[in-house]
Amino acid sequence: MLMDKTQVMKFLPHRDPFLFIDTVKEVVLPESLAGQKGPFTPAQMVGGKSICTFKVDETVKVLEGHFPGNPILPGVVQVEMMAQSASFLCVYCLDKPIEETKLTVALISIDSARFRKPIIPPMNLEIHSVLTKVRGPFQIYDCEIYSEGELLSQCNVMASLKIE
């Protein structure tokens, strides 16, 4: 594991009930950077992948109202989860420890969202985000959510990430 929940909270500005990453399981560098040490530019990270986890159980606040007696994780929360996962590719772009880093994230657009199967408690999710393009300050990611190896949802995320 690359980051536990405490470390995730030191990096992401989100907090409960809107923090949807429990751990960062792995960040995979693109093949072109294998064996090298950072920091890297976002453009160098194209092809890199973050893999994060989140446990959906009855304590997830949004499930209280969506829907009482039949909890289903909303699609908008799934998209947010994928966007949060994408942020962790920036870990290799940092020139200082995560505790000293301020991350500002702005979600710009979502494309091709597909919700293949409902996400219900209890489920252990794995969120994959692959950086596919960098256009100036904007980054585009292909994202997917899995449970037990089964694809549940996917989308393309465009975000602006500012690291201070």
66 catalytic? Reply is yes
Task: Tell me what pLDDT residue 13 has.
Answer: 86
**What would the pLDDT profile of 51-109 be if each residue is shown by its tens digit?**
999 999 999 999 999 999 999 999 999 999 999 999 998 888 887 887 777 778 889 99
CATH fold of 5-163 reads Thiol Ester Dehydrase; Chain A (3.10.129)
pTM recorded for the entire structure: 0.94
* Burial class of 7 by CB neighbour count within 10 A (0 to 12, 13 to 18, 19+): middle
Catalytic-labelled residue, pool 66, 132, 133, 163: 66
Q: Mean pLDDT over residues 118-130, rounded?
A: 98
Residue 156: pLDDT band with limits 50, 70, 90? very high
For the chain, the domains span 5-163
Q: Mean pLDDT over residues 115-140, rounded?
A: 96
Q: Mean pLDDT over residues 136-158, rounded?
A: 96
